[in-house]
Amino acid sequence: MSGLIDPLLSVNDLDAHYGPIQALRGLTLHVNRGEMVALVGANGAGKSTTLRTVSGMIRPSGGAVMFDGEDIGGLPPQRVVARGLAHLPEGRELFPNMSVEDNLRAGFWVRRHQSSDYAAMRDRVMDHFPILRERAKQAAGTLSGGEQQMLGVARALMCDPKLLVVDELSLGLAPLIVAKLFDILHEINNEGTAVVIVEQFVHMVLQNTDRAYVLAKGHVVLEGRSADLLADPKLIASYLGEGAGHGQRAPTPAGVS
C-alpha cells in the first residue's frame, strides 16, 4: 500500500504549542491514500496534539500540513472537515441529548447543500452499523459505550471523508467491542477511506494497521510497517527507556516496610 508518490496527508516539520508548552517539535509523517496508520507513544508524546493540529483545532506554530494536494495548515476545523478530513476526538464528543439520527445529520453539516443525498449517505453509513439503525430515535447519551463509539465513527463518516482520524478508539471499551470497531474500520478502509488511529493498546493497533509511527516528546522516534514494529525491541525501549525489554521476570511486589 505504501510508497505512492502522492500521499493523501503529509505533515512536515510540524510545531504546536499549548501556551508556553511546546507539544509538537518538528513532527513529520505522511498517510497514503487508502492506508491505515497507527500513531502510538507514551502519554504526553503528542499523539492527540498531532490529530488536533492536522484537523485544525490547534493552529500549528510551524511546519506544513498538506492534504489532498492543498495546504491546510492553519485552516479552521470546519474548513478542514469540508475538504474531507474527519476527526473523531477522544471521548467521542457526541451530542448526548440529540437522537442518533440527529447526531448523524449534524455529521452531514458540511454536505448540507447536497441535502437530497442525506438519506443515501445515512443508509450507506448505517450499513456498517446495523445496531444504530435500530436505535435511530434514541438519545445518543443513552447508548452503551461501544454504541456511542460506533455513533462517533458513523457521524464522522457522514461527511464522506477521504481520511478519518480517530483518537483513543478503545478508551473505556471492552476488548470484544474494540475488536468489532476495528472490523468496521477495516470495512471502511476497504472502501477507500484512509484511517489514522491513536491508541494506547499498542499491540492491538499494530496488528490492525499497515504502518505506524511511534511518537515521543512531540516528534517521531520510530516508524515502519506495523508488523515489523511489533517485533522491534526499540518499541519497548521507546516506552520504558534504553535497556528495557522482555527479559527475566522481575520480582513481584514485596512489602514496603
Residues at the contact surface with another protein, assessed by CB under 8 A: 20-23, 25, 42-44, 175-176, 178-179, 182-183, 186, 200-204, 207-208, 216-218, 235-257
Query: Measured from the CB of residue 212, what is the shortest distance to another protein in angstroms?
Result: 12
**Nearest CB to another protein, comparing residues 5 and 21:** 21
**Nearest CB to another protein, comparing residues 47 and 162:** 47
Candidates 45, 50, 8; CA nearest to 28 is: 50
Query: Measured from the CB of residue 184, what is the shortest distance to another protein in angstroms?
Result: 11
Query: Measured from the CB of residue 113, what is the shortest distance to another protein in angstroms?
Result: 38
**Nearest CB to another protein, comparing residues 83 and 186:** 186
| Cβ-based neighbours of 229, under 8 Å, separated by 6 or more | 206, 212, 214, 222, 235
Report d(CA 33, CA 162) in Å as an integer.
8
Contact 172, 123 (CB under 8 A): no
User: For cell 476488548, what's the residue?
Assistant: 175
Query: Measured from the CB of residue 199, what is the shortest distance to another protein in angstroms?
Result: 8
**Nearest CB to another protein, comparing residues 104 and 229:** 229
**Nearest CB to another protein, comparing residues 18 and 119:** 18
| CA 9-29-34 angle, 5° bins | 40
Cα–Cα distances (Å) from 118 to 102, 107, 110, 128, 163, in that order, read 12, 10, 11, 16, 20
Query: Measured from the CB of residue 245, what is the shortest distance to another protein in angstroms?
Result: 6
